[in-house]
Structure 1
Amino acid sequence: MSTTADAALVSEHSDYSNPDHREVRRVVFSGYLGCAIEFYDFLLYSTASALVFGPVFFGNLTPLMATIAAYATFAAGYVARPLGGIIFGHFGDKLGRKRMLVMTMTMMGIASTFVGLIPTPHSIGLLAPVLLLILRIVQGIAVGGEYGGALMMAVEHCDQKKRGFYASLIAIGAPTGTVLASLAFGTVRLLPDSQFLQWGWRVPFLLSALLLVLGLYIRARVSESPLFLEALKHEGEMSRFPLAQLLRYEWKAVILAVITAAGPLAVYIVGATFTQTYIGHLGFDSSVALFALAIANGVNLFWFPICAHLSDKYGRRPLLLVGFAMSILLVGPNFMLVSTGNPYLTMLAFWLLGSLAAGPIYGALGAFLSEKFSTRTRYTGTSIGYQLGSTLGAGLTPLIVTSIFASSGGTSISGVIAFLIAFCTVSMLCVVMSKETREADISK
């Protein structure tokens, strides 16, 4: 549907002050499903980095160094995410949110399917890890544009009193994708090691093609953001260079958004990557961590919206501060429980840090970030803020913490714990310095 057709639809059936609730539900479901598919694809790579890519693509290195090399390609996707935020944010603020979301989903689905088809270095030599790196960068660019756009569609369609709740329904696309990716990899991980490394790990990536078809069908049926169309109608065209306007007038909001997002993303990604490596290093079954991760994120499907509802009622800052404080307190106990090797204590560890503490943060974070920016720059600002935060927090963290652990000879986890606590503390201080945004008028 073109922007002109969308404008006619929104003009006839919807406006921001009196939203069409059926259309809001359609838009939110589309955003949720899109994020679930994209994070399924993206987090497949993180799990494969911990379990597969080292021995398959970097088998000439020692096991720990091969894992670090795999995490380096993993980090490349996060480095590319801000670029995706800039590109899709720019055109999303100029041409509309919907078109960009169709493009990001297509890029992600194709790249992930191709990862499952890459020949090994035994067949094509160094070209194999090079192709892996290129596809990872394409993934990063796609995700960089996806989250901000889906979030914009949700908060710009719904009414002010429910922004946090609807934003959280986009956010739970990430744990949904994590659940699907963890279950898919956990299932094929039950294969004998030789079959798993030879072909089993490819199956979850190839399933991305089916998810892509489903996602595109649903996404094509939603309308454009009414706030974007209203701004377009009054101004004739949006800002020619949203990024330049953002950096000139709203740069403080960008910095606060980056640092606020970095801490919790660092903690989250450690659970999806390094913790699995750590469990394997201790000699325990890594599939336990995969299923524990899936269970914790399954709880998040309900816990995040509950926390988001509380943020609509009491404010974003109180929820964020509670979540950060809990994360800081639970990082140490998390690794203590995991190091026991007991499956039930491992599940408890993932639930405490990856669900109980994460809920207040991710329940409020989406709305908190989007409410900081004007309609003219909201897609760009939210995307860049969140994606730069993901690069600093999630993209580099597996590489850093694995290197810290390796520097101790693989005998001490205290350096990793200290690093994560410091990261969360800095993010928490940014929330302390920020203003409450719950009552912000985002129609301007």
Structure 2
Amino acid sequence: MAAGQSRTRVILASAIGSALEWYDFFIYGMAAALVFGELFFPRSDPTVGTLLAFATFGVGFFARPVGGLVFGHFGDKIGRKPMLVITLLLVGFGTMLIGFLPTYEQVGIWAPILLIVLRLIQGFGAGAEYGGAVILLVESAPHGKRGFWGSWAPIGVSVGNLLAAGVFYLVSELPREQLLSWGWRVPFLVSIVLIVVGLYIRSNIMETPVFTEAVAKRKPEKAPVWQAISRQPRNFFVLVGARIAENGLGYLIPVFGLNYVVNTLGVPRSTALTALMVAFGVELVALLAFSMLSDRIGRRPVYIFGALFSAALAFPFFWLVGTKEAYLIAIAFILARAVGTAAMFGPQAAYFAELFGPKRRFSGFAFARELGSIIAGGPAPFLAAYFVLLAGGQTWAVSLYMIVLSLITAIAVWMGPETYRDDISQDASAR
């Protein structure tokens, strides 16, 4: 680590940015599940309104690979730190401005149009936010502890999720009329707190030692993303495949799952949000545990376990929530988030960073990761809601969809290299 660079500062700089990114995306997902269908789309058909709200949720993901390409390129060219500041501002202000938007009743079609524009800004910044946060941690970590260090970025994600669920829990206690008139805006507006704190910390960090050493040895590559694809194609596509289940289920469970439990099963909103908050809380510990385990036995065994567990849980998840019992709903969300997703998401941080050499790490990581987001995370809530609609309210098609996502990821990681003992300061193109 560079002289004077506090470990605590590095961890906070990464974790707070990740918390902001996922706080932003999940408050949007929760709003889409609970109120946006009514606020931003015609009220003639609530089901269609919900589907359209989920569609705008997916729109933000189409800007993410572009953001990953642009900011990843400059992150490999001029450094990790400047990109971390820029992406934080884009994600943060894109979210905060949603809190000021007029609704469909006020401005008609302009309401969903403005919503989509801000979603695209969010997605553009988010395309490299998480990748930059992970790389800052992993490139600053002692050898043999990259899984543990890298875990603080996904832990930041869970903190963001927990904050989002907590804030929405509070505003959801408002009378329905107040929730729809002004209460839904509060979660978006309070994101300014995370922006200010994150900007202060990130402005005072130093460049990573791995990047500094790599630049000192050789000039940056002209087109790092192309180098990542052409010189390490297996690793690039392993990363895309590894992303499918983690990202798809990571959004399907809390976004579609919350909507299904509240709007289809008729479970009180507070009960569903409490179950989700408990799951996110347990996930904080699980992420750390799975990441540390990956430092001991490797990234692949832990990751593949998470994917296969998620496949096995696909039908039981809906059986559990279908009971409408609060404690069984909580168990369902805990198993999905704190076991299935956490076993993939925890070691993922270090694994994805280890797949590429230092001169193309940011570009390869960010671009490949966000291609996976388009394929899996963006459409997942919409597709799940659509499958339920086609199946007449039954969830078997959603369970099959979850199994397919999980098996794709298990196969992709099985075909990938093991990296936990690699020297990430070397340009190991053949890895």
- Coarse TM-score class (shorter-chain normalised): over 0.9
Matches within 5 A, 1:43-442: 43-235=26-218, 237-279=219-261, 280-410=263-393, 412-442=394-424
State the one-letter code of the partner of 2:416: S
Matched position secondary structure for 2:63:
helix
Displacement after TM superposition at 1:312 (Å): 0.3
State the one-letter code of the partner of 1:272: P
- 1:254–1:384 contact (8 Å) kept in structure 2: no
- 2:42–2:104 contact (8 Å) kept in structure 1: no
Partners in 2 of 1:361 and 1:243 — Cα distance?
24
Partners in 1 of 2:326 and 2:180 — Cα distance?
24
State the one-letter code of the partner of 1:64: T
Displacement after TM superposition at 1:286 (Å): 2.8
Partners in 2 of 1:161 and 1:24 — Cα distance?
16
State the one-letter code of the partner of 2:36: F
Deviations 1:365-400 (A, max 9, x none): 111111110101100111112211122111111111
Deviates more, 1:412-421 or 1:281-290: 281-290
Displacement after TM superposition at 1:252 (Å): 2.1
Matched position secondary structure for 1:247:
helix
Partners in 1 of 2:172 and 2:418 — Cα distance?
45
Partners in 2 of 1:327 and 1:291 — Cα distance?
22
State the one-letter code of the partner of 2:164: A
Partners in 2 of 1:292 and 1:390 — Cα distance?
25
Displacement after TM superposition at 1:339 (Å): 1.0
Displacement after TM superposition at 1:409 (Å): 2.1
Displacement after TM superposition at 1:51 (Å): 0.7
Displacement after TM superposition at 1:155 (Å): 0.7
- 1:77–1:139 contact (8 Å) kept in structure 2: yes
State the one-letter code of the partner of 1:365: Q
Partners in 2 of 1:155 and 1:333 — Cα distance?
36
Displacement after TM superposition at 1:426 (Å): 1.1
Partners in 2 of 1:291 and 1:392 — Cα distance?
30
Partners in 1 of 2:137 and 2:231 — Cα distance?
25
Displacement after TM superposition at 1:56 (Å): 0.3
User: What number of residue pairs does the alignment pair up?
Assistant: 425
Displacement after TM superposition at 1:165 (Å): 0.6
Q: Cα gap change, 1:61/1:137 in structure 2, threshold over 3 Å: closer, same or farther?
A: farther
State the one-letter code of the partner of 1:198: S
Displacement after TM superposition at 1:61 (Å): 4.0
Partners in 2 of 1:287 and 1:238 — Cα distance?
51
Displacement after TM superposition at 1:75 (Å): 0.2
- 1:24–1:154 contact (8 Å) kept in structure 2: no
Displacement after TM superposition at 1:300 (Å): 1.4
Displacement after TM superposition at 1:422 (Å): 1.0
Partners in 2 of 1:346 and 1:229 — Cα distance?
48
Partners in 1 of 2:78 and 2:127 — Cα distance?
17
| 2:22 is the alignment partner of 1:39 | yes
State the one-letter code of the partner of 1:51: L
Partners in 2 of 1:80 and 1:272 — Cα distance?
22
Deviates more, 1:393-402 or 1:57-66: 57-66
Partners in 2 of 1:422 and 1:109 — Cα distance?
33
Matched position secondary structure for 1:273:
helix
- 1:271–1:293 contact (8 Å) kept in structure 2: no
Partners in 2 of 1:255 and 1:240 — Cα distance?
21
Give the superposed CA RMSD: 1.3
TM-score for the superposition, normalised by structure 1: 0.93
Partners in 2 of 1:433 and 1:109 — Cα distance?
37
Deviations 1:122-157 (A, max 9, x none): 222211110100000111111111011011111111
Q: Find the counterpart in structure 2 of residue 3 from structure 1.
A: none
Deviations 1:185-233 (A, max 9, x none): 1110111111111110100100011221111011111111111111111
TM-score for the superposition, normalised by structure 2: 0.96
Gaps of 5+ in 1: 1-8, 14-19
Displacement after TM superposition at 1:91 (Å): 0.4
Displacement after TM superposition at 1:283 (Å): 1.8
